[in-house]
Amino acid sequence: MTVRFVESSKLPTPWGIFVMHGFCDAENDKEHVVLTMGDVSTDEPVLARVHSECLTGDALFSMRCDCGPQLQAAMHKVALAGRGVIFYLRQEGRGIGLLNKIKAYHLQDQGADTVEANEQLGFGADMRDYSILKPMIEHLNIQSLKLLTNNPRKVKALQDMGVNIVERLPHQTGRNPHNAKYLETKKGKLGHLFNSEDDE
């Protein structure tokens, strides 16, 4: 197993105090973190968000995507529940990396959608690998998840590797004029499930 646990610490945030667990993936030299709140090792299903790193959305407040608002909303929902887990995976740009994502953005500036841009660069529409979650889930003794996602492929990927997903909870937020086409592509080409035009 290439993913190993390193250390845990407290992480105070505007939504409450999480515990941050650090993991190292030796195979590709990536560092991942998992935020937990409350006891996630009981039999009760854990409210969970699997979030792939998005420097532009999470840290630079980009409005080209809905990633930053989704991360913040997940932290807020976990804090309201008093118990939950957020997996923060270093899989920038749906797995193509930050610099390739900037190249993809350039193609989108010329009129390509997110899927077309990835494919023009020689990548698949979504290159993320969720198998790295398994050792993290096992380390934290998590039995089952209530997953905050609009992405049925993510649910299937986790189920295929033996993770018990008891419920998929819609997680819509962050729609704005700059990401309308991005969200339509998510829905039309990647099969994301959006309940309505309205965000929560």
pLDDT in tens, 21-68: 999 998 888 999 999 999 999 999 999 999 999 999 999 999 888 889
**Are 23 and 85 in the same domain?**
yes
One domain, residues 108 and 151 = no
Question: Active site includes 90?
Answer: no
Catalytic residue among 4, 126, 129, 160: 126
The residue-averaged pLDDT of 96-106 equals: 91
Asked, for residue 198, whether it belongs to a domain, the answer is no
Q: Is 33 annotated as a binding residue?
A: no
161 & 103 share domain: no
What are the residues whose beta carbons fall under 8 Å from the beta carbon of 176, sequence distance 6 or more?
A: 63
Active site residue 128: yes
Residue 1 clears pLDDT 70, i.e. is over it = no
Tally of domains within the chain: 2
When pLDDT is averaged across residues 164-181 and rounded to a whole number, the result is 74
Residue 107 clears pLDDT 80, i.e. is over it: yes
149 is in an annotated binding site: yes
- Residues 108 and 9 both lie in one domain: no
Q: Mean of the pLDDT values across residues 68-74?
A: 92
